[in-house]
Amino acid sequence: MKDIYERNINLAVARKNDHEILTKATMLDLNHHIRVELTIDLQTETIVHADSQMTKVPYGICQFALRNIKGIEGLKIGRGINKKLADILGHAEGCTHMVNLAMEAVRLSANVMIGLNKVGDEWFDTGQRTEEEMIARVKPYLKNTCLPFKEEEREAN
């Protein structure tokens, strides 16, 4: 089999200050270099600033989709946000890649927010607790999101 295309998506989260994080999502492939950046308020879990760049796109008209990014400012990260992101950034006036990058940025930001807001510094330092202790500590927040946090079904007696 011969590879014909490759796409890389990279995400990074940094603390902007005591109450905000900055999440960057970048897509790079043969035809695209696109970035979405979200500043998120940790207390309100809201996107307070959004920006995007298209360094490389296959068509000049693609750049017009950048104007939609400000529309996601004010969105609260929670249930229903993916549909809102798709409606604001995508469809006939938007860019499917910006939608995907924003969704990935929101997912990673939500994970980091759980760590910062609910668990604490130990979320980022797995050397302090055993794997079992960390799973037990985090499970209430990530119940049934993946195998380590699976809620065991109790058998009826």
DSSP 66-80: GGGGGGGTT-BSSTT
One domain, residues 68 and 137: no
Residue 2 is assigned to a structural domain of this protein: no
Instruction: Report the pLDDT value the prediction gives residue 14, as an integer from 0 to 100.
Output: 97
One domain, residues 48 and 111: yes
One domain, residues 11 and 86: yes
Task: Give the residue numbers spanning the domain of 114.
Answer: 7-119
Residue found by looking up tokens 């996107």 in the block: 47
Residue 1 is assigned to a structural domain of this protein: no
One domain, residues 65 and 107: yes
Could you read off the pLDDT tens digit of each residue along the chain, which spans 157 residues? Answer: 999 999 999 999 999 999 999 999 999 999 999 999 999 999 999 999 999 999 999 999 999 999 999 999 999 999 999 999 999 999 999 999 999 999 999 999 999 999 888 887 777 766 778 888 888 888 888 889 899 999 987 666 5
One domain, residues 25 and 64: yes
Instruction: Report the pLDDT value the prediction gives residue 21, as an integer from 0 to 100.
Output: 97
Q: How many domains does the chain have?
A: 2
Instruction: Report the pLDDT value the prediction gives residue 119, as an integer from 0 to 100.
Output: 81
One domain, residues 105 and 95: yes
The bridge status of strand 20-29 relative to strand 33-41 is antiparallel
One domain, residues 127 and 115: no
CATH number at residue 20: 3.30.390
One domain, residues 18 and 89: yes
One domain, residues 128 and 96: no
One domain, residues 113 and 129: no
- Tell if the pTM clears 0.85, that is, is over it: yes
One domain, residues 110 and 124: no
One domain, residues 110 and 125: no
By C-alpha distance, which of 135, 110, 103, 109 is closest to 122? 135
